[in-house]
Amino acid sequence: MKREVPLFLTAVIGVFMILSFFVPHQVVSVPGQFLQLTAVIVVACGYVLGGANVLRVNIDAIAKQQPGWIYKLVLVLSLLGTVAIGAIEGSQFLDPGRRSRWIYDTLYSPMSATMFALLAFFIASAAFRAFRVRTVEAGWLAAAALIVMIGRVPIGDALTGFLPPALHLSSIQEWIMNVPQNAAKRAILMGAALGVMATGLRVILGIERSYLSGED
């Protein structure tokens, strides 16, 4: 019951979704659409569950006064505050002028952008400390990286503008992207597609059961 029912559900629904790709008849399309809508609703509940779990873990840490609990208090208060304000403001909570909109524009948006902006510094540091060319293959990688990096930006043409157009760095990087890089990426795409199809079938047939992890 605890494992068999979920495995059965996965198998039936998975086969049905594959069938819906080939059969447009409403006998398949109506239940298929219903299943997709069900997945959308359950995933939305999953997001709410995720938020609730964050709350549970951090409230626990505050109660036990674990190291850094003051920061976890900031986390919990900001979470509850955002939810409360959004709940009060209703379905148009992101309209201009609303407090929820202020939270999104002033807190969420700039911090989200800045977190990712830090990566630029780390990529430069990693390029210096970790990018080691020790083999011929790594040399190919480095050469391609350097040509594409410089050729993709205006300075590439500024440095090689005196050469014939076919030898401009931008032309060489375009050739690299359209021919050898394209070939390699296509091979990876096709290989990954076979892998996903195999894994999908394994999940549907109940051979892959890792999503049922946990005690019975």
Partner 1 sequence: MSPLERLARLDRRWIFLMMGILVLIPLLWPLRMEIRPTASSKTFHRAIAAIPDGSTVLMSCDYDPGSIPEMVPMTRTAMRQLWEKNCKVVVTVLWPGGPGLVDKVIEDVALADFPGKRYGVDWVNLGYKPGNEAVMVLMGQGILTAFPNDYRGHATRSLPIMQRARTYADFPILISISAGYPGTKEWVQQVQARFHLPMVAGVTAVSAPEFFPYVQSGQLVGLLGGMAGAAEYEKLRNESGDASRGMDAQSLAHVFVALCIVLGNLVPRRRAGS
Partner 2 sequence: MSLHPTPDLSVWVAAFLTLCIFSFLYRDNPFYKFAEHLFVGVSAGYYIILNFWTVLVPNLGEPLLASFQGRGVVTARDGMFAASLGDYRGWLLIPALLGLLLFTRLFGKIGWMSRWPLAVIIGVFAGLKTTGYAQGDLVAQIEGSLQPLWTGNPATTINAIIFTVGLLTSLLFFFYSREPRGAFGVVSRVGIGFLMVGFGAGYGYTVMSRVSLLIGRFQFLLGDWLGLR
Closest distance to partner 1 from the beta carbon of 216 (Å)? 29
**Which of partner 2, partner 1, none does residue 61 bind (CB under 5 to 8 Å by kind)?**
none
Fill in the per-residue mask, 6 to 45: x = in contact with partner 1 (CB under 8 A), - = not in contact.
Answer: ---------------x-------x--xx--xx-xx--xx-
Closest CA to 85 of 96, 69, 75, 98: 98
Rounded distance between C-alpha atoms, residue 27 and residue 13, angstroms = 14
- Which window, 51-59, 71-79, 176-184, 206-214, contacts partner 1 (CB under 8 A)? 176-184
From residue 37, how far is each of 16, 19, 198 by CA, in Å?
14, 17, 25
Site for partner 1 in 105-164 (CB under 8 A): 105, 108-110, 112-113, 115-116, 120-121, 123-125, 127-133, 142, 145-146, 149-150, 152-158
Instruction: Choose between 114 and 162: whose C-beta lies nearer to partner 2.
Output: 114
Phi-psi region for residue 133, left (φ > 0), alpha (ψ -120 to 50) or beta?
A: beta
What are the helix (H) ranges across the chain? 4-22, 26-63, 69-89, 99-102, 109-129, 136-151, 154-160, 169-178, 180-204
Closest distance to partner 1 from the beta carbon of 56 (Å)? 21
Instruction: Choose between 135 and 162: whose C-beta lies nearer to partner 2.
Output: 135
**Which of partner 2, partner 1, none does residue 200 bind (CB under 5 to 8 Å by kind)?**
partner 2
What is the residue whose two structure tokens read 């840490």? 61
